[in-house]
Amino acid sequence: MSGNRKPVHLAVYDTLADWETGHTTAYLARAGYEIRTVGASPASVRSIGGLRIQPDIALDDLRPEDSSLLILPGADLWDTSGDLAPFARKAREFLDADVPVAAICGATAGLAREGLLDDRAHTSAVSFYLVATGYKGGERYVDTDAVTDGKLITAGPTEPVAFAREVFGLLGVYEGEVLDAWYRLFHDSDAEAYAVLETAGQ
């Protein structure tokens, strides 16, 4: 990892949706980013798939200036309790500090409740899912796989590859033809895309 590259922080909590951020974190790590997990407390959590995760850092100790990106995965808890609201508030801190945030699935509803989608283009599972939060950003909803608006990325639960694509583009991990090839390889199983990545040394 380059000496001045800051870690990427992955929020972890009970009922975390395992499948939504795997492409993102794996290829960020391969690109030289340290991935650090952030929990509400130092206590371990369990994903939907039953994986036990021990957070590296507690949410209260996370500062935007120490991070390259905050990733907020989906989780049942986004819709069944207010337990994850502090993660949405931390996302506000990040965006206020001009540090990127990437939210997928239920985390988009958390951001909507926090008011972070009222003035930004965004997407989610479906538009009426966010309307149910009572947010004021309905006119900024985009019916597509993933959206980047400034330093905020949003995606729905069926789009982990598009989510990763937006993260890589925002951080400059892959660009142009290589970014497009990565997406085509993992989203479309495009064998020709593999050749592009091999040529680029990826």
Q: Which residues have a catalytic role annotated?
A: 105
| Secondary structure, 3-state, the chain | CCCCCCCEEEECCCCECHHHCHHHHHHHHHCCCCEEEEECCCCCEECCCCCEECCCEEHHHCCHHHCCEEEECCECHHHHCCCCHHHHHHHHHHHHCCCCEEEECHHHHHHHHCCCCCCCCECCCCHHHHHCCCCCCHHHECCCCEEEECCEEEECCCCHHHHHHHHHHHHCCCCHHHHHHHHHHHHHCCHHHHHHHHHCCC
